[in-house]
């Protein structure tokens, strides 16, 4: 996409909302429906002021037929606009949900624990668009037209309607302020409540094992009460305001009838205007009254739109990235440093090394040295604060994210598996995954026999995050997922953390087999076994690069840092160690 076209695309998020023509037709049908509703007051005027005085049955029948037909068409137009809004709401979700989900996947800031997911806000807006609140908002602009017509009938009628509109507008403003205050007061408590609930559900087994069930429930209910209190208070106030609005509208109708009767007695208007004014005053003020009750929904929709539009615009502003040639696996880091978004002290600084195609680089160092962070940056999950990371000479941020992901296999320290079957956990969302490719990846990871031993084999349901599997099983399946497909750069974070010696031997064999097929490896480990197959070692301490090079050169130069490793690894006889 050319820069000019991209700029025009991202100019306004409103342009991404589909169905703007549909909204135009909603307005047209609203004008038609509201215009046809005027038949009621004019029918009253004609019947009381002309038919009764003339005694013409034909005129009465004709006016009645015209009135009924007009009301039928008004109801028909009303039903059409509701149907159009419902379809617009569905189209809105279909268009915005992928953008919001893409922003959630790509932008870590939108995955805050305990916060309302933007997709939930998309559904809230969908429900709002298909609700009566939107119809009320569309009908509200017709209020001045009805007020002018009442002034045309008699200035007193128009004055009553105008005063009522002003009073209800003030009440609507107060209701809006209450709704906004509720959102502000409740948002923090609601986020804490959601975070507490997520934590309890995620760690349910641990809570039960520790005997904390009652305590967890009490803690959740305390935070939940804090979240409910402002909502309840605001609901009570808005309900009281809505009751007062209904009272005001009823009083104004009584005043209109009373004023009409007085005007009839003064011979200033005819009797038909008495009924007509009562109907029109009610019709004029009804949208204002409805808005007072619906203002909480309007405020929530505004807040939801603010989040959704920000997420969608973030996606639309992302630059188009040209599809590059498949990488060979050359990874280069130059002067890389990283500072967390809310942090002050660098987690990594001064990192620079090259990992050539088909090489195995093992990263070692004490806990907190920044090893996992470095691996996340190599996976393009974090961007360096300083420096650059390149894959086949191209900066990671210049790769198309999906294309880059298809060539990188990543196994995080905490293995996260997608819910579903074992086969689905290995191939993920690959639509064209073949059974033979899934089995090949599992075989390469040394997990094929283990999977066959499961109750359902490759169709075994593993549950959320693979909680039905042991740690070692999750590790093997996660490794098979990292090997699935033609991966040129494979990043493994503590892949042998849950493996026994036989499992570690199988892991070494798997890594060597994948390397023979063209894969480059960057591996984080605390255990010495993987050093026996490493081409190079990167030693980190306190976020800095202490040494990088062959194992025989790096380990003797740092005797205090990795003394356990030195006692385990026998450099002069590496081929024999591979077999053991």
Domain residue ranges of the chain, discontinuous segments joined by +: 3-316, 346-417+487-579
pLDDT of residue 522: 94
Tell me if 428 sits within 8 A of 481, measured CB to CB. Answer: yes
Nearest to 353 by CA among 490, 516, 536, 177: 536
Cβ-Cβ contacts under 8 Å for 278 (sequence gap 6 or more): 253, 256, 257, 260
- 325/336 Cα distance (integer angstroms): 25
Matching residue, tokens 């923090």: 188
The pLDDT value recorded for residue 578 is 28
* Ramachandran bin of 318, using left for φ above 0, alpha for ψ from -120 to 50, beta for the remaining angles: beta
Round the CA-based radius of gyration of the chain to a whole number and report it: 35
CATH of domain 3-316: 1.20.1560.10
Q: How far is CA 368 from CA 373, 384, 464, in A?
A: 10, 18, 29
| pLDDT at residue 291, rounded to an integer | 73
Q: How far apart are CA 401 and CA 126, in angstroms?
A: 30
DSSP state of 92: H
> Which positions of the chain have pLDDT values less than 70?
1-20, 108-116, 178-192, 231, 234, 293, 295-296, 556-580
Read off φ and ψ for residue 211, nearest 5 degrees: 70, 30
Please give the DSSP secondary-structure letter assigned to residue 366: S
Q: How many CB atoms lie within 10 A of CB 533?
A: 20
Q: How many helices (H) and strands (E) does the chain have?
A: 22, 10
For residues 572 and 574, give the distance between their C-alpha atoms in angstroms, rounded to a whole number: 6
If you search the block for the tokens 């073949």, which residue do you land on? Answer: 434
Q: Bridge partners of 541?
A: 544
Identify the CA nearest to 297 among candidates 128, 121, 93.
Answer: 128
What pLDDT does 9 receive? 42
Rounded CA-CA distance 453/378 in Å is 35
Contact 364, 537 (CB under 8 A): yes
Closest CA to 260 of 123, 158, 392: 158
How far is the C-alpha of 295 from the C-alpha of 235, rounded, in Å? 11
Which residues are paired to 355 by β-bridges?
331
Domain over 346-417+487-579 is classified CATH 3.50.50.60: no
Report the pLDDT value the prediction gives residue 538, as an integer from 0 to 100.
92
Length of the chain: 580
Strand partners, 362: 523, 537
| Residues 1, 400: Cα–Cα separation, whole Å | 13
Tokens (6 digits) for 534: 């490493």
What backbone phi and psi angles, to 5 degrees, belong to 49? -95, -20
Q: In sequence order, what are the beta bridge partners of 386? A: 337
Tokens linked to 69: 């037909």
Q: Where are the alpha helices (DSSP H) in 370-470?
A: 371-378, 401-407, 422-427, 435-444, 448-452
pTM: 0.67
């Amino acid at each position: 996409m050319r820069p000019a076209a991209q700029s025009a695309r991202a100019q306004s998020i409103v342009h991404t909302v589909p169905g703007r023509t549909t909204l135009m037709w909603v307005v047209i049908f609203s004008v038609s429906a509201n215009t046809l509703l005027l038949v009621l007051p004019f029918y009253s005027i004609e019947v009381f002021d002309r038919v009764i005085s003339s005694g013409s049955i034909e005129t009465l029948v004709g006016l009645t037929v015209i009135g009924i037909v007009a009301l039928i068409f008004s109801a028909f137009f009303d039903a059409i606009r509701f149907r159009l809004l419902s379809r617009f709401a569905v189209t809105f979700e279909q268009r915005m949900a992928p953008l919001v989900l893409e922003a959630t996947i790509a932008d870590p800031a939108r995955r805050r624990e305990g916060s309302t997911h933007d997709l939930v806000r998309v559904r809230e807006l969908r429900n709002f668009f298909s609700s009566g609140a939107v119809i009320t908002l569309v009908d509200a602009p017709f209020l001045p037209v009805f007020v002018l017509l009442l002034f045309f009938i008699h200035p007193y009628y128009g004055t009553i309607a105008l005063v009522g509109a002003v009073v209800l507008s003030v009440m609507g403003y107060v209701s809006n302020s209450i709704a906004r205050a509720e959102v502000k007061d409740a948002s923090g408590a609601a986020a804490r409540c959601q975070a507490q609930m997520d934590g309890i559900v995620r760690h349910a087994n641990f809570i039960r094992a520790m005997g904390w069930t009652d305590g967890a429930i009490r803690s959740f209910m305390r935070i939940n009460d804090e979240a409910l209190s402002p909502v309840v208070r605001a609901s009570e106030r808005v309900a009281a305001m809505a009751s007062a609005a209904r009272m005001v509208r009823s009083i104004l109708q009584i005043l209109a009838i009373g004023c009409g009767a007085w005007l009839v007695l003064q011979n200033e208007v005819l009797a038909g205007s008495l009924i007509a004014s009562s109907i029109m005053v009610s019709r004029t003020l009804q949208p204002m009254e409805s808005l007072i009750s619906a203002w909480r929904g309007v405020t929530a929709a505004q807040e939801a739109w603010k989040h959704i539009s920000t997420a969608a615009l973030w996606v639309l502003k992302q630059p188009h990235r040209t599809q590059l040639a498949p990488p060979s696996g050359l990874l280069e880091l130059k002067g890389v440093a990283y500072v967390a978004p809310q942090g002050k002290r660098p987690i990594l600084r001064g990192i620079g090394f090259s990992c050539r195609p088909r090489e195995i680089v093992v990263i070692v160092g004490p806990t907190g040295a920044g090893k996992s962070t470095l691996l996340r940056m190599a996976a393009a999950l974090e961007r360096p604060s300083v420096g650059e990371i390149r894959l086949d000479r191209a900066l990671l941020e210049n790769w198309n994210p999906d294309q880059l992901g298809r060539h990188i296999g990543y196994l995080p320290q905490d293995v996260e598996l997608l819910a579903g079957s074992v086969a689905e956990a290995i191939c993920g969302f690959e639509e064209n995954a073949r059974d033979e490719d899934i089995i090949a990846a599992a075989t390469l990871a040394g997990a094929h026999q283990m999977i066959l031993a499961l109750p359902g084999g490759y169709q075994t349901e593993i549950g959320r995050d693979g909680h039905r599997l042991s740690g070692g099983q999750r590790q093997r399946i996660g490794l098979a997922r990292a090997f699935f497909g033609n991966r040129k750069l494979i990043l493994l974070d503590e892949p042998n953390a849950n493996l026994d010696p036989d499992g570690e031997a199988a892991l070494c064999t798997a890594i060597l087999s994948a390397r023979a097929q063209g894969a480059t490896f960057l591996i984080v480990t605390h255990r010495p076994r993987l050093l026996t197959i490493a081409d190079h070692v990167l030693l980190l301490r306190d976020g800095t690069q202490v040494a990088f090079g062959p194992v025989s050169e790096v380990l003797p130069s740092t005797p205090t840092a990795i003394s356990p490793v030195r006692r385990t690894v026998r450099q002069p006889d590496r081929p024999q160690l591979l077999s053991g």
